[in-house]
A and B are shown apart, each in its own frame.
Chain A
Amino acid sequence: MDLNAGIASGELSAEEAAKAYLAVIEATEPKVAAFNEVHAERALERARRTDSRRRSGDDIGPLGGVPVAIKAVLCTQYGKTTCSSKMLANFRAPYTAAAVEKIEEAGAIVLGKTNMDEFAMGSSTENSGFGVTHNPWDLDRVPGGSSGGSAAAVAARQCVAALGSDTGGSIRQPAAFCGVVGLKPTYGRVSRYGLVAYGSSLDQVGPMTRDVTDCALVSRAISGHDPRDSTSLPAEAPDYLASINTPMDGLRVGLPREFYSDALDAEVNQAIHSAAGVFRDAGAEVLEVSLPYSRIDRDAGGNLSSYAVACYYIVAMAEASSNLARYDGVHYGHRTARDVDDIIELYSRSRAEGFGQEVKRRIMLGTYTLSAGYYDAYYNKALKVRRLIKGDFDQAFKVCDIILCPAAPTVAFRIGEKAGDPLTMYLADIYTISVNLAGLPGLSLPCGLSRAGLPIGMQLIGPALSEETVLRAGRMFEKASGVARLKPPMIQGMAAN
């Protein structure tokens, strides 16, 4: 990475770099509002220590001096860990998340915690308890969600990279809306220790960066086995950077026929097919594959319909209702100030006051689908459909190496446009949720701009543990298409970073 190389050689100091990025934050935050907290003093202190290590001849690490931002869902022992929820508005974590420990061990300078949909529940960052983040490409539009703050911060050049989390598309969809690169790793590839749990069988931490090479670098830093997370895969992560520019002879790119219905915005459809053409021109074989259980139709009422979305939301909400039971006003988090008669009232009032509407909806739906009389029809049924959805991918990967599809069905929508109908918002995730259900790696990267100048994101999906393939294919696309490091108009006037 250029910045890290510059700092390691002494050309530029880490302190100067940190100050420069903090200045961008100060200049752009009134418009973008990507951050919940900025830890300026701590960042400058760590930057100064990086410079002094460099002067002593010590290795500053592959991300030494590189300013990064951390989604508010990840625990840090400094500042607060709020998940952008009033429920955790004053919570100070007693330990730091594994992914944050690792990125700091690699030398990165954490600038602050970014805004998100509360408890990672949402697709627009409009569900934040602390205000909306604005898309740097068009301030009237959402940055996507739930990692909207992280995506916007990278796009607005407030930091070089950010960590997000992805349960149903929460890295990949905001990456697409903000014109940046985002990777959801194979489930278990990155430790979930210190990641506040939403859907434990779906959640993953991942990088959000300006280009695929930086994504490979940050992925390498945060991946690997962690004995503190019992779902952490024993496999050691390869050095993604070593192979990133290696040509991919005979790459087979699959296009799922079920994803290209009239559900997809015409411009996005065209951009994805152009991207397929770029792969073809670069020597790859492009073929049609089939993912029947991930198919997208329209129902009689004209609404989008997808088994995978139903399956995902049943599973995610059931897991959420269980995971969010811990917020009871007793151990940490918000406690009602009202006089209560008994402990049940303490729980019920504290939770009513601390949680926003979307969180309440999901907890209640999860509780309903797990309750006696409904468990088999909903939750157990969804787990069977989950196996069928994964089976489709296993079949497809017998004839192709990666799958190419949209990261989102549209470009970024306007703030407030979908806020009235929860179901419409859930359907923003149609291209991302299957990947979480199947536990596969998914890379979101920009493939062009719409006629109105908004980023369009494509998604590359690979078999389990194939991040190396997916990243190499993404790099191949960047080189062949020239689409990389897109800059929103609002920052084009600023001094080059």
Chain B
Amino acid sequence: MSDKRIDLDTVRHIGRLSRIELTDEEVRTFSGQLAAIIGYFGKLQELNTDNVEPMAHAVELSDVFGDDVPQPSLTPGQALANAPQRDGDFFKVPKVIGDS
């Protein structure tokens, strides 16, 4: 693996964007591992893709629609069955909207 590292602040920033809390040790370990992998990704810059359209899907299906007819779905009970914290038909979460 190369000696390149991503700076620790960038790793912490990515952690925040990913909504994953990282320990200081993880930040250090990831700074080396992620740099090596991102360095590897850089190989694609060797290729000329000037006149190439991006392809997100190998199979070119588009506009796949269903009839606008209601179908049976999950009951609130089923939908909430795995909820770590619930209050009746609601998922319970810490306050989202700030005081200001």
Give the interface of A toward B (CB within 8 A).
Answer: 90-92, 94-95, 186-188, 201, 227, 230-231, 233, 293, 301, 305, 307, 309-311, 313-314, 321, 325, 328-335, 340-349, 351-352, 355, 360-361, 363-365, 367-369, 371, 377-378, 380-388, 390, 421-423, 426, 437-440, 464
Contact = CB atoms under 8 A, between A and B. Distances in A.
A390 B40 CA distance: 21
25 contacts: A92-B82, A94-B79, A187-B59, A201-B57, A293-B47, A307-B46, A330-B83, A331-B82, A335-B85, A341-B94, A343-B96, A346-B93, A347-B19, A351-B21, A360-B18, A360-B30, A361-B30, A364-B15, A364-B20, A384-B53, A384-B54, A385-B44, A386-B58, A422-B37, A423-B36
Contacts of B61: 188, 230-231, 233
Contact of B18 (A230, A367, A383, A426): A367
B1 A333 contact: no
B18 A384 contact: no
A231 B59 contact: yes
With a 10 A CB-CB cut-off, give which of B14, B18, B38, B59 has the most chain A CB atoms.
Answer: B18
Interface residues of B, number: 51
A334 B85 CA distance: 11
A423 B66 contact: no
A307 B21 CA distance: 32
A460 B83 CA distance: 44
Nearest to A329: B84
Interface in B17-73: 17-22, 26, 30, 33-34, 36-38, 40-41, 43-47, 49, 52-59, 61, 64, 66
A292 B95 CA distance: 54
B100 interface: no
A365 B19 contact: no
A423 B52 contact: no
Given A231-B57, A307-B44, A378-B41, 15 more contacts: A92-B81, A187-B57, A188-B61, A309-B40, A329-B84, A330-B84, A340-B94, A343-B94, A351-B19, A364-B30, A371-B17, A384-B52, A422-B33, A426-B37, A439-B57
A307 B43 contact: yes
Given A385-B44, A388-B49, A439 B58 contact: yes
Contact of A423 (B40, B47, B79, B83): B40
B37 A367 contact: no
B55 A386 contact: yes
B7 to A, nearest CB: 13
B58 A381 contact: no
B66 to A, nearest CB: 6
Contacts of A334: 84
Contacts of B74: 94-95
Interface of B: 1-2, 11, 14-22, 26, 30, 33-34, 36-38, 40-41, 43-47, 49, 52-59, 61, 64, 66, 74, 78-79, 81-85, 91, 93-96
A380 B82 contact: no
B21 A348 contact: yes
B40 to A, nearest CB: 6
Interface centre among A321, A383, A390 (most CB of B within 10 A): A383
Contact of B34 (A94, A361, A382): A361
A349 B23 CA distance: 11
A90 B11 CA distance: 31
Interface-centre pick from A311, A347, A381, A437 (highest chain B CB count, 10 A): A381
B20 A384 contact: no
B16 to A, nearest CB: 8
B20 to A, nearest CB: 5
Contact of A439 (B30, B40, B45, B59): B59
B41 A313 contact: yes
A201 B33 contact: no
A365 B43 contact: no
Nearest to A368: B14
B45 A387 contact: no
B58 A346 contact: no
B34 A438 contact: no
Contact of B94 (A314, A346, A437): A346
Nearest to B67: A227
A305 to B, nearest CB: 6
Contacts of B83: 330-332
9 closest Cβ contacts across the A-B interface? Answer: A439-B58, A383-B54, A335-B84, A332-B82, A387-B55, A384-B49, A348-B21, A352-B21, A384-B52
